[in-house]
Amino acid sequence: MNNLPVSPNLIVVGGIAGLAAVAAVGVVLFNNAIRSAMCLVLNFVLLAVLYFSLNAEMLGITQIAVYTGAIMVLFLFVIMLLNLGAPQLLVEKKDPKRFAAIGFGVVLFGLVGSQLLPAFNGVSTPQALDDFGGPHAIGRTLFSAYAYPFEAVSILLLVGLVGSILLAKRRI
């Protein structure tokens, strides 16, 4: 960490990362469900920008297409249909469980951080190799080495689709 020179690029990346962290905090702190969801969208987009800046374009664009473009739209859909916008419904009373939650959160952060952070120590070029994780490489790996898991996952998705249709429609 210490041998990383402070360059404008690093400042930009740091700024984006900081904004993403602020957006993540906003997801938890907003009472209004729509605003929380929008903070999550902002967080996803900023994460994708971070990936772009680290030369991992494929990962970033997947992040935007899948999470921001599809999943969060469905979330917004549900929030609107259930009309969860009224903030007064979501204000909780003071609750001792809150402190327990904070404690558990800190412990979880310590656990994950103790495993993840040492790996970043001494990294001086925060950039993937050229075409690392590009569409060609991913496609080739997915359809050769991981062809069987890929097909298994696609069957799983198909089963999920059929199941949801069966549950939603009584008579087909």
Partner 1 sequence: MGDWLINHPFWHALLRVVLLVLPVLLFVVPIIWFERRLLGWFQDRLGPNRTGNIQFSRTSRFVPFFLKGKKFHLQGLAQPMADGIKLFLKEDITPSAVDRAIYFIAPAIALFPPFALGATIPWGPFPLITPVADVNIGVLYILAISSLGVYGIVLAGYAGNNKFSLLGGLRSSAQLISYELAMGVSLGCIVMATGSLKPSDMLAYQGGAFWGFKESAIGDILANWNILTPFGAVAALIFFICMIAETNRAPFDLPEAENELVAGYHTEYSSMKFAVFFMGEYASMFVYSAILVTVFFGGWHLLPFRFDYLAAHYPAAGDIWHVLDMLNGNSFLAPIWFILKCAMVITGYIWIRATLPRLRYDQLMSLGWKSLLPLAVSNLIVIAFWIFATDTFGPLVGWATSFLAVLILIGLYRSLNKNAESTQLASRTIELVDPSPRRTVELVEPAQVPSA
Q: By CB under 8 A, what part of segment 127-166 binds partner 1? A: 131, 134-136
Query: Are the beta carbons of 29 and 21 closer than 8 angstroms?
Result: no
- Is there binding between residue 14 and partner 1 (CB under 8 A)? no
CA distance linking residue 116 with residue 108, whole number of Å: 12
Q: In the chain, count of helices (H) and strands (E)?
A: 7, 0
The interface mask with partner 1, positions 80-119, x = CB under 8 A, is xx---x----------------------------------
Task: State the angle between helix axes of 8-29 and 33-53 in degrees (0 to 180), rounded to the nearest 10.
Answer: 160
Q: Which is nearer to partner 1, 17 or 61 (CB)?
A: 61
- Is there binding between residue 65 and partner 1 (CB under 8 A)? yes
How many of the chain's residues bind partner 1 (CB under 8 A)?
A: 25
The values of phi and psi at residue 31, to 5°, are: -80, -35
User: Which stretch in 16-24, 78-86, 90-98, 110-118 sits in contact with partner 1 by CB under 8 A?
Assistant: 78-86
User: Which stretch in 27-35, 118-126, 144-152, 155-163 sits in contact with partner 1 by CB under 8 A?
Assistant: 27-35
CB atoms under 10 Å from CB of 150, counted, come to 14
- Look up residue 112 and give its amino acid: V
CA distance linking residue 57 with residue 134, whole number of Å: 7
The site for partner 1 (CB under 8 A) is made up of: 8, 32, 34-35, 38, 41, 57-58, 61-62, 64-65, 68-70, 73, 76-77, 80-81, 85, 131, 134-136
